[in-house]
Amino acid sequence: MLRTVDSLNGYTLQATDGELGSVKEVYFDDERWAIRYLVVETGSWLSSRQVLISPYSVTEIDENDGLILVSLTRDQVKNSPDIDTHQPISRQLEGTFSQYYGYSNYWSGPYLWGAVGYPEFPLSEPGAVPPAREEVSEMANYKAEQTGDSHLRSSDAVSGYHILGTDDEIGHVKDFIFDDKDWAIRYLMVDTHNWWPGGKKVLLANKWIERIDWTDSTVQTKLTREQIKNSPEYDESMPLDRSYEARLHDFYGQRGYWD
């Protein structure tokens, strides 16, 4: 199911023995375009400490009650490595985090979640889960990532970044849309009102983004203003279904990630 990141904000994290806190934002990987962690405000029970919760531990998202159920105990979270969410998170810290919980390192394989395509825990037998075709990275990129720095970015920080087309600015990042099965970010939601009076919201697939410039707070896309202006409008009050996705990809002459 496709969801917006903003829709998770404020959801309560429910451990096996009580509440952990509420979702504040997410950290996403700007190379493979996946949500790697939920940033959770724990509240008074843990001195208002912020902790990271990996999708590896998420068992269910209950949108009726605004709950995210995780296969963790409060003590596990309480004793987890102390990570300063106000500072860049290094690969070394991520490794310590993964080792503590017994998770696989998502960067230690060629697929979206390392050796497999989904954040499964405990892990399946080797080779038991064939990843989707679009989740396979080039092996060269994978080898470069093994020893590289973390590419985690804050959803709160990137929201509001200006979107640059090939010829001019086209809007700003309003939200992110992700698949809650593999936690892949499929689209950036873009609001065009700041340059086009009477504008609209549109979606940009991650494949159409060339780079994110963290110095200038901009996102560069391969598309032009005219293409964006004429693209299918996205109505965030309606569920995002495959027919709209197909129409969007057809408009740009691109294959869908589901093919």
In this prediction, residue 133 has a pLDDT band, given cuts at 50, 70 and 90, of very low
The alpha-helical segments, DSSP class H, found in the chain are: 74-78, 91-101, 139-146, 155-158, 225-230, 242-252
Q: Which two tokens stand for residue 156?
A: 């709160």
Q: Is there a single domain that holds both residue 168 and residue 58? A: no
Q: Is there a single domain that holds both residue 83 and residue 106? A: yes
More confident residue, 151 or 101: 101
Q: Is the predicted pLDDT of residue 134 greater than 60, yes or no?
A: no
- The mean pLDDT value for 112-120 works out to 92
- The mean pLDDT value for 138-166 works out to 71
Q: What CATH number does the domain containing 205 carry?
A: 3.90.50.10
pLDDT at position 119: 94
Domains: count for the chain: 2
pTM for this predicted structure: 0.88
Query: b/e string for 166-187 if b means 16 or more Cβ within 10 A?
Result: eeeebbbbbbbbbbbebbbbbb
Q: Is there a single domain that holds both residue 36 and residue 62? A: yes
d(CA 183, CA 14) in angstroms, rounded, equals 19
The pLDDT tens digits of the residues spanning 192-249 come to 987 777 789 999 999 999 989 888 999 999 899 889 889 999 998 888 999 999 999 9
More confident residue, 141 or 38: 38
User: Closest Cα partner for 102 from 126, 130, 76, 127?
Assistant: 76
Helix, strand, coil % over all residues of the chain, rounded to 5: 25, 30, 45
In this prediction, residue 36 has a pLDDT band, given cuts at 50, 70 and 90, of very high
Q: Is there a single domain that holds both residue 117 and residue 172? A: no
Q: Residue 50 forms beta bridges with which residues? A: 41
User: Closest Cα partner for 58 from 126, 139, 120?
Assistant: 120
Q: Is residue 106 part of a domain?
A: yes
Among 120, 146, 172, which residue terminates a domain? 146
Q: What percent of the chain has pLDDT over 70?
A: 89
Q: Is residue 152 part of a domain?
A: no
- Cα 46 to Cα 77, 80, 82, 85, 124: the distances in Å are 9, 12, 12, 15, 33
Q: Is residue 19 part of a domain?
A: yes
Q: Is there a single domain that holds both residue 119 and residue 195? A: no
Q: Is the predicted pLDDT of residue 142 greater than 60, yes or no?
A: no
Q: Is there a single domain that holds both residue 119 and residue 189? A: no
Average pLDDT, the chain: 88
Q: What is the DSSP letter of 168?
A: S
Q: Is residue 236 part of a domain?
A: yes
Q: Is residue 153 part of a domain?
A: no
Q: Is the predicted pLDDT of residue 20 greater than 80, yes or no?
A: yes
Q: Is there a single domain that holds both residue 87 and residue 137? A: yes
Among 146, 174, 201, which residue terminates a domain? 146
DSSP code per residue over 219-250:
EEES--HHHHHHSPPP-TTS---HHHHHHHHH
pLDDT at position 149: 61
- The mean pLDDT value for 61-71 works out to 96
Q: Is there a single domain that holds both residue 165 and residue 137? A: no
Q: Is residue 141 part of a domain?
A: yes
pLDDT at position 150: 67
Q: What backbone torsions phi and psi does residue 166 show, to the nearest 5 degrees?
A: -70, -20
Note down the domain range covering 46.
Answer: 2-146
Q: Is there a single domain that holds both residue 56 and residue 109? A: yes
d(CA 135, CA 131) in angstroms, rounded, equals 6
Q: Is there a single domain that holds both residue 29 and residue 98? A: yes
Amino acid at 24: K
- Cα 32 to Cα 15, 16, 50, 206: the distances in Å are 28, 31, 25, 9
Q: Is residue 259 part of a domain?
A: no
d(CA 95, CA 53) in angstroms, rounded, equals 14
Q: Is residue 258 part of a domain?
A: no
Q: Is there a single domain that holds both residue 138 and residue 165? A: no
pLDDT at position 193: 87
As to burial, measured by CB atoms within 10 angstroms (0-12 exposed, 13-18 middle, 19+ buried), residue 154 is middle
pLDDT at position 191: 94
Place of tokens 């970010």: 185
Q: Is there a single domain that holds both residue 125 and residue 193? A: no
Q: What CATH number does the domain containing 110 carry?
A: 2.30.30.240
In this prediction, residue 128 has a pLDDT band, given cuts at 50, 70 and 90, of very low
